[in-house]
Amino acid sequence: MKSRFFLLLFVLNFALAIQACSTSSKLVSEKPAHSEIKTTPIIGIPALQAEIKNILKDEAIADALVGVKISRLRDGALLYQQNANKLFHPASNMKLYTSAAALHYLGLEYKFVTRVAIDSGAVLGDTLRSNLYLIGGGDPMFSIGDLENMLVDLSNLGIKYITGDILCDAGVLDDMYIGDGWMWDDAGWWYTAPLSALSIQENCVEIIAQAAPKDGDPVKIAIVPSTNYMKITNTSATVDSATYYSELFDSTKAFQKFNVERRWREKENIVEVKGYFGDWFAEDKTTIDVVDAPLYFGTLFKEGCTRQGIGIQGEVIHGTAGTSAQIIVSHESKPMAQLLADMNKPSSNLCAELFLKTVGAVTTGKQGNAKSGIHALNKLLASWQIDTTKINLADGSGMSRYTLISANSTHDLLRAMWENHTWRHEFIASLPVAGVDGTIKNRMRNTAAESVVHAKTGSLSGVSTLSGYTTDMDGDELVFSINMAHFIGSARPYRNAQDKICEAITRFQDVKK
C-alpha cells in the first residue's frame, strides 16, 4: 500500500512537471487567452494574409509606408510579410533592442548604486570639515523617496554641519544630456529629460495649477517635488465662464490659452505660466524637465539636509570624488528584471538611454556613452545573425531620427529574445499588455487580442510602430513587427490598423478544429 502511494505521488509530480514545462513558454496574461471574448477563427494562412491585406488597404492609411513581418515561433512558419527589409524609424520600438543589451550585458540582477561620500578622516564630532560627494551610478528611477531615505541614514550618522560644498559627481557616464539626432524643438518636456548618471525624479518637476479663489487672480501653483531649483513666472488669470468664452470667440481679441512651459530656448530653470484658467477647471498637471540634472539632485539633497537639521555652509557644484573618498551612505536600485518594466511599459526614454550608456561603461571599463553601448549592442545583434550593416542605431530610446531599423531586424530580435530561456519571462513581462497596462492599456479592448498581445509601441511625428508577441487560436505563440511611417496628421488610424492586425493574428487558426 505504501509503495503504491509513493508511486502515485511520483506520477503526480511528474505530470505536474510536464505541465509546467509545456506552459512555461506561454505569454503572461491577466486572464487566459480568448476566455471571455467570443471569436471567429481565421482559418489557414491564405485567409490570414487576405485579412491583413484588406486591413492595410484602408484609405485612411493608404499614403503611409508600411513594413510588416509575422511568423510562428514554434516552427518559424512565415505568416505575413510586406516591405520587411525596408528601413523605418523605430521610435520607442528601439527600447526592445536596448532591453536586449541590458539583459545580455548587465543581467537580471544588475542594480544601480547611488552613493554619498566624504573625504577620509574629515568628521570631527558632529561636523564634516570637507566637501560631501554625491556619486551617481546611472539609476534612472532614483526618486525623492529614495533621497529621503539616504538623508535619514546620513542624519543617523550624527553629522549636523557640513563646512564644504556639495559636489555632484556624474562621471561614470558622459555628460551628453541629449541623444544623437534628437529634435531640438522637443526640448523642455519629460520625454527629453536630460541624461545623467546622477538623476532624480526622472529629472523632471510637476507643475500643478489650480483656479484661484478670486476671479482675476493668478492661478495657484505648486511644484512637485517642492524645490527652489525651478522658478515660476505667473501671468495667468483665473476667469469665470462668461469672460472665458467671450474672449475665446471674440475675433478682435487675442485669446490667451492657458499654457505652462519652461524657457527651454534659453536653457533656464524658469517656468512661465500664462493665459486664462477657467474657475471651473480641474487642476492642471504638466511635467517639465530640468536643466542640469546633477545640480537638481544636489539642490534637492541640500534642501533635504535642511529639513533633517543638517546645516551646509557651501554650495552645490559639479565635482569629482577622489579614489580615496569614503562611502558613508548608499542606495541600490531595483534589479534590472524589474527596471525593465519601468522602461518598457510607460516607455521611459531616460531609462533607455542610461541603460545603453551603462552597457557601454560595463563592456569597456571606461566612462559610459551611447557610442560604446551601441557598439556592444551591434555585437550582440550580429551574434544573433541580424545584419547590422543594414540598420543604423544612434540612441537607446528611439528618439533619434538617425536610428533606422526594419521589420526583419525587429522580428529577428524578438525571436532571439524568445529563444533565450534565461530572461524570456522577464522580458515579455516588461512589455505592455493589450487592454491591461502600459502604452496599450486602452487599445484592443473587447477583442481577441485583449490581455493576449504583449507589445512595445513607438510614436514620433509621422511614425507609429508596434512589435511583440501574441498567442493564436491553436495556442501557438506568434511574433510580429508592424512599422508605419511617412504620414501626416494623427497616428490614430495607423494604430487602429495595427490593432486590427493584432486581433487578426490572435484569431488565426492553422488547422480547422
pLDDT reported for residue 37: 65
Residue-wise DSSP of 245-263: HHHHT-TTS---B-EEEE-
- Report yes or no: 366 and 174 within 8 Å, Cβ to Cβ: no
Does residue 117 sit in helix, strand or coil?
strand
Q: What is the pLDDT of residues 110-140, one digit of tens each?
A: 999 999 999 988 888 899 999 999 999 999 9
The distance from CA 116 to its chain's CA centroid, rounded to whole angstroms, is 27
Residue 260's contacts (CB-CB under 8 Å, 6 or more residues apart) are 207, 209, 271, 272, 273, 284, 286, 288
Assign 38 a pLDDT band (cuts: 50, 70, 90).
low
User: In this structure, what C-alpha cell is assigned to residue 90?
Assistant: 523605430
> What pTM value is reported for the model?
0.91
pLDDT reported for residue 36: 58
C-alpha separations of 240 from 108, 251, 280 in Å: 54, 19, 8
Q: What is the mean pLDDT of the chain?
A: 92
Q: What is the pLDDT of residues 460-486, one digit of tens each?
A: 999 999 999 999 999 999 999 999 999
CATH fourth-level superfamily of 113-178+293-332: D-Ala-D-Ala carboxypeptidase C, peptidase S13 (3.50.80.20)
C-alpha separations of 218 from 18, 37, 233, 244, 254 in Å: 67, 51, 10, 14, 18
Query: Residue 218: is the preceding peptide bond cis (ω within 30°)?
Result: no
Strands 405-406 and 87-88: antiparallel
Q: What is the pLDDT of residues 178-221, one digit of tens each?
A: 999 999 888 888 899 999 999 999 999 999 999 999 999 999 99
Angle, CA 292 vertex, CA 334 and CA 93 arms, to 5°? 55
Residue 205's contacts (CB-CB under 8 Å, 6 or more residues apart) are 223, 224, 225, 227, 229, 230, 271, 287, 288, 290
Kind plus residue range of the DSSP H or E element containing 405: strand 405-406
CATH architecture entry for 28-109+336-509: 3-Layer(aba) Sandwich (3.40)
CA–CA separation, 313 and 90 (whole Å): 49
Residue 490's contacts (CB-CB under 8 Å, 6 or more residues apart) are none
Q: Any idea where the domains of the chain sit in the sequence?
A: 28-109+336-509, 113-178+293-332, 201-289
User: What is the chain's length?
Assistant: 513
Backbone angles phi, psi at 77, to 5 degrees: -60, 125
C-alpha separations of 452 from 435, 440, 477, 500 in Å: 9, 12, 10, 14
CA–CA separation, 282 and 245 (whole Å): 17
- Among 393, 364, 345, 339, residue whose Cα is nearest residue 105: 364
Assign 26 a pLDDT band (cuts: 50, 70, 90).
low
pLDDT at residue 31 is higher than 70: no
- For residue 254, count other CB atoms closer than 10 A to its CB: 8
CA–CA separation, 221 and 208 (whole Å): 6
Q: What is the pLDDT of residues 341-388, one digit of tens each?
A: 999 999 999 999 999 999 999 999 999 999 999 999 999 999 999 999
- Report yes or no: 126 and 161 within 8 Å, Cβ to Cβ: yes
Assign 146 a pLDDT band (cuts: 50, 70, 90).
very high
- Report yes or no: 214 and 436 within 8 Å, Cβ to Cβ: no
C-alpha separations of 56 from 67, 209, 258, 497 in Å: 11, 43, 39, 7
CA–CA separation, 363 and 193 (whole Å): 25
Backbone angles phi, psi at 302, to 5 degrees: -65, -45
What is the side-by-side order of every strand in the sheet holding 65-72? 78-82, 65-72, 477-485, 463-471, 454-460
113-178+293-332 and 28-109+336-509 share a CATH fold: no
CA–CA separation, 415 and 455 (whole Å): 13
Q: Beta-strand (E) ranges in 90-236?
A: 113-118, 123-124, 127-128, 132-135, 161-162, 166-169, 204-210, 220-224, 231-234
- Report yes or no: 284 and 271 within 8 Å, Cβ to Cβ: no
pLDDT reported for residue 438: 96
Backbone angles phi, psi at 318, to 5 degrees: -75, 150
Does residue 79 sit in helix, strand or coil?
strand
pLDDT at residue 162 is higher than 50: yes
Residue 345's contacts (CB-CB under 8 Å, 6 or more residues apart) are 430, 431, 432, 437, 438, 439
Residue with cell 474657475: 279
Assign 512 a pLDDT band (cuts: 50, 70, 90).
low
| DSSP character at residue 332 | E
CA–CA separation, 97 and 406 (whole Å): 12
- For residue 207, list its beta bridge partners: 223, 286
